[in-house]
Amino acid sequence: MTSLLTYTFKSLPSTSKWALRFCKLYLFFLFKISFGYVSVLHRHGIVLLFVSTLFCLPALRPLSSSSQLQAAAAVQTKSKKTLAKPNIRNIVVVDGVRIPFLQSGTSYKELMPHDLARAALLGLLHRTSVPKDVVDYLVFGTVIQEVKTSNVAREAALGAGFSDKTPAHTVTMACISSNQAMTTGVSLIASGQFDVVVAGGVELMSDIPIRHSRKMRKMMLDLNKAKTLGQRLSLISKFRLNFLSPELPAVAEFSTSETMGHSADRLAAAFAVSRSEQDEYALRSHSLAKKAQDEGLLSDVVPFKVPGKDTVTQDNGIRPSSLEQMAKLKPAFIKPYGTVTAANSSFLTDGASAVLIMAEEKALAMGYKPKAYLRDFTYVSQDPKDQLLLGPTYATPKVLEKAGLTMNDIDAFEFHEAFSGQILANLKAMDSDWFAQNYMGRKAKVGSPPLEKFNNWGGSLSLGHPFGATGCRLVMTAANRLRKEGGQYGLVAACAAGGQGHAMIVEAYPK
């Protein structure tokens, strides 16, 4: 596939008619600035940037400088059709919780992943009062596995007091691992195998496996097999100091050897996302997260008494700064001209989450009032070199088509924020007919989510991103927002390493 960096906007039509049409479009939206500037500019970011560059038209304010980025408007209650399908079980999420997401190297640094997962499970049991013996199955997602507890779902379940007769398994799909855990649970229930599944995810970046070098590992294994003193001495004589060089877990893509941050920087450049736009979006995320935290909207967070330490009650990565302070940071990946910095990137995070998923008839029989229906979902994958972080762009139109919905039907959008540049590039790609036609094989764009409905309670940039646990947070935030704001449909989407992505429709349960 042609590179995003080499297949530039030169491929766009350049006739005078085309230029005239888009100049008129530019002026039309400029005059409409008083009622919807932010949404308009965001929906037409690629076009306006190209036109203003080509014709030296005056540049508009950056998207995120508007006050709409600092406050989120309430979504109006709507009456729409339900997405229930004949002869298919309705599947609901009864409730979900997460322990506070903390920056790595802080209060959770002495623990193991199963400790965090167990805490999330105990929090879910306390929140829902579900009897342990009612749970048929558990599925957890994780990315960087602790070798001692490779099936962390099973170890966490046993630690939380679930029966040893209740099976559990662990899945991994990079940043959408807990999304995969949830949809695995949905599939198990939809197929009639089970009625009640607990799904979740966990990540502990404070203590990652660091291996000996391959040469050292080979020598140690051979020494273990050696039967005589002579064989052992012969092996030891081959030892060299460079054998002691450790192997750190790779942050880079295995298939491309490129770090995700480097890819995000290139993606931002390809879609002409400026450094100031990225910083402003990051500030938006932190400001909205702080507002949601102060107003008690992050109700999925449950306190966690860390052994030997104080009880942790809230996320510790929410830190609204100022654009002036953010502008002082140097590029983190492409130096010295890159635009991705520590301030507009998600940070290494420790955390765990869990949700209780049931067949609707089972939930009602047990007296529960579910939070939401889990409806259609999809997974996508594309070129990991140039489209590593474009999963939401590809997954969103697919899941909307499966559900028979349009972007206008969605009341709450919850997208994973790996980087500001990644989010803004996806929004531009989603609003580009050119990208849809040349890269996605679609006739027209799906459209960009309006910011007044988008990540209104913050996102991964501010709340944190424990790789294996973010998916459950996204779903529960969407469900809780729908209840709070009176909406009916939520759309959850996320990118993941390997060029993969996920999207799911969440439907509010009738009050």
- Active site positions, annotated: 175, 495
36-43, long-range: CB < 8 A, 24+ apart: 37/61, 37/66, 37/68, 38/63, 38/64, 38/66, 38/68, 38/69, 38/451, 38/452, 39/68, 39/450, 39/451, 39/452, 42/427, 42/431, 42/448, 42/450, 42/451, 43/431, 43/447, 43/448, 43/450
CB 479 within 8 A of CB 508: yes
Region of residue 431 (left: phi > 0; alpha: psi -120 to 50; beta: else)? alpha
Mapped onto helix, strand or coil, the DSSP state of residue 358 is: strand
Give the total residue count for the chain.
Answer: 511
CB 92 within 8 A of CB 325: no
Chain center to CA of 465: 7
According to DSSP H, which parts of 416-465 are helical? 420-430, 433-438, 460-463
DSSP strand pairing (137-141 vs 168-171):
parallel
Task: Please tell me the distance from the alpha carbon of residue 376 to that of residue 373, in angstroms, as a whole number.
Answer: 10
DSSP strand pairing (137-141 vs 196-203):
parallel
CB 446 within 8 A of CB 407: yes
The conformation of residue 76, written as its DSSP 8-state character, comes to P
Task: Please tell me the distance from the alpha carbon of residue 111 to that of residue 305, in angstroms, as a whole number.
Answer: 12
Q: Hey, how many other C-beta atoms are within 10 angstroms of the C-beta on 486? A: 15
